[in-house]
Amino acid sequence: MAPRITDGSISSVAAALRAGEVSAVELMQAALARHDAHDEKLHAYKYLDADAAMAAARRADERLRSGDASPLCGIPVSVKDLYGVSGMPTFAGSARQLPDDPWSRDAWLVRRLLEAGAVIVGKTHTVEFAYGGVGMNPHWGTPWNPWDAEVPRIPGGSSCGAAVSLWEGSALLAIGSDTGGSIRIPAAFSGVVGHKTTKGRWPTDGVVQLSTTFDTVGALTRSVEDSIHFFGSVDPRWGDPSPLFESLTMTSVEGLRIGVPRCAIWDDCQRDIRDVLNVALSELDSAGAERIEVDGRLIDDAYELYMTGGIGKAECHAFLSARLPQWLELLHPTVGARLENPLALDSEAYRQAIAKQRRMAAFAAPLFGDTDILVLPANLITAPPVTDVVDDLARYVEVNGATLRPTCPVNLLELCAVSLPAGLDASGMPVGLQLIARGGDDEALLGVALAVERVLGTGLERMGVPPLLVDGSTSG
């Protein structure tokens, strides 16, 4: 039984824990065994303390025995190394550990998880200060995308170790952050689900800042069902997933109006990836959904402002200059070169960029027209080999722009979105379908995503097991 404990949905594992069919200690032992089996190649974690994880699992068992068992009690969770976690170092992907005060105090979302009895396994690798969508970390090594067993390909970033930890089986839930796509990009490239929450829905307290304008926190999971379980467990409006599940009125895609924006993102999508997405959308059509073309010019304009307006660069550089000035000189060129010549926060150019961003966000609602949801690719290109970008800054910048292209408009327009697996491209690498909803409609978005998943299947059902993990000890 133990080798398969980590294969179930979070809901089913939580039910088994509450029923006493399995203990949190047994679950953690299985999770750590998965880590030991695959870590040498997958390299998902910057920091993992097995003894501390086992001690936390024993405390979770005490809560389970006492009846104080929330729906996340005993569930193994990985946390992006951008979050403060008490007793754990924070590097934020940089070459040197950040000061313990305040970066080793529990971030808001970490506190919510711990209050719910979740067990933190360790901290997963991130791009240096989360500044990039490629997923490389030249300081500590780049996690291996498990969908190519022979060639190390980028996992997507900046939450690069998060998705990999899910396939490894060491975590059933992976906490990340999303500033321009940093949850959805690795979800798409690595074949899992990633939910970018509405800006301001949850505090970013205790998370190393990239951009005060765009930063959001959330999670990657192995299914939409798991995402809903997590969201309902930690969101203060719910506090339990059961009422959230009960509130989801969309049980099928029958009558779902899917908006397909006319925009350059679709035009520039790699042909085989577009083919995979069209197959998935055709399956939704056959199940009763309706596709409607909508004017997507605002999406293209949002991408242009995100990439050229300098908002994120200005805010990241200002944060480092004020809080971590010594770290600026340690930045790897893939990050440091792109942070050069930032706008000053008190400059007229920065104020104008912020004003333009707010105007765009204010006019985002008409994008949807009479539709329930918008769809875009979550990745435009096949995840390239790490060797293609590691020593070539120009190529890195090109790939980084391609990774951000379909996702960053969502952040600039203050919307919410989910990436879920749609299939495999011609190279056998995952393709992500991005569902986008109006800002504040996270619950409705998750309901639609669940209905879509029931048609398309989970990543495991649709794509199978990543080749690197086909060895009899896959994580599901």
The CA-atom distances, in angstroms, between 241 and each of 79, 192, 246, 277, 435 are 21, 20, 9, 30, 21
Measured distance CA(431)–CA(419) in Å, rounded: 9
How far apart (Å, rounded) are the C-alpha atoms in residues 312 and 339? 9
Helix (H) or strand (E) holding 328: helix 325-328
Query: Is the link from the previous residue into 236 a cis peptide, with omega within 30 of 0?
Result: no
pLDDT per residue rounded down to tens, the chain (476 residues): 344 678 899 999 999 999 999 999 999 999 999 999 999 999 999 999 999 999 999 999 999 999 888 999 999 999 999 999 999 999 999 999 999 999 999 999 999 999 999 999 999 999 999 999 999 999 999 999 999 999 999 999 999 999 999 999 999 999 999 999 999 999 999 999 999 999 999 999 999 999 999 999 999 999 999 999 999 999 999 999 999 999 998 889 999 999 999 999 999 999 999 999 999 999 999 999 999 999 999 999 999 999 999 999 999 999 999 999 999 999 999 999 999 999 999 999 999 999 999 999 999 999 999 999 999 999 999 999 999 999 899 999 999 999 999 999 999 999 999 999 999 999 999 999 999 999 999 999 999 999 999 999 999 999 999 999 986 444 33
Strands (E), 3-98: 45-48, 76-80
pLDDT of 470: 86
Contact 148, 201 (CB under 8 A): no
Q: Which residue has the tokens 């690197």?
A: 468
Tokens read off for 212: 């005060």
Query: How many C-beta neighbours within 10 Å does residue 293 have?
Result: 11
DSSP assignment letter at 311: H
Q: What 3-state class would DSSP assign to 196?
A: strand
Q: Which residues are catalytic?
A: 80, 158, 182
* Predicted TM-score (pTM) above 0.85: yes
User: From the centroid of its chain, how far is CA 404?
Assistant: 13
| 3-class secondary structure, 75 | coil
Report d(CA 73, CA 69) in Å as an integer: 6
pLDDT number for residue 476: 37
Domain boundaries, the chain: 2-469
Phi-psi region of 97 (alpha: psi -120 to 50; beta: other; left: phi over 0): beta
Both tokens of 309, joined, read: 């307006």
Closest CA to 190 of 123, 150, 145: 145
User: Could you tell me which of 369, 157, 384, 136 has the C-alpha nearest to residue 257?
Assistant: 369
Phi, psi of 221 (to 5 degrees): -140, 175
Return d(Cα 149, Cα 467) in angstroms, integer: 6
Q: Can you give the pLDDT at residue 471?
A: 61
At 123 the pLDDT is 98
Q: Which superfamily does CATH assign the domain made up of 2-469 to?
A: Amidase signature (AS) domain (3.90.1300.10)
Helices (H), 337-392: 348-362
Beta-carbon contacts of 221 under 8 Å, excluding residues fewer than 6 positions away, are: 10, 166, 172, 173, 174, 192, 193, 194, 195, 227, 230
Contact 432, 188 (CB under 8 A): yes
Residue among 227, 238, 292, 293 nearest 449 (CA): 227
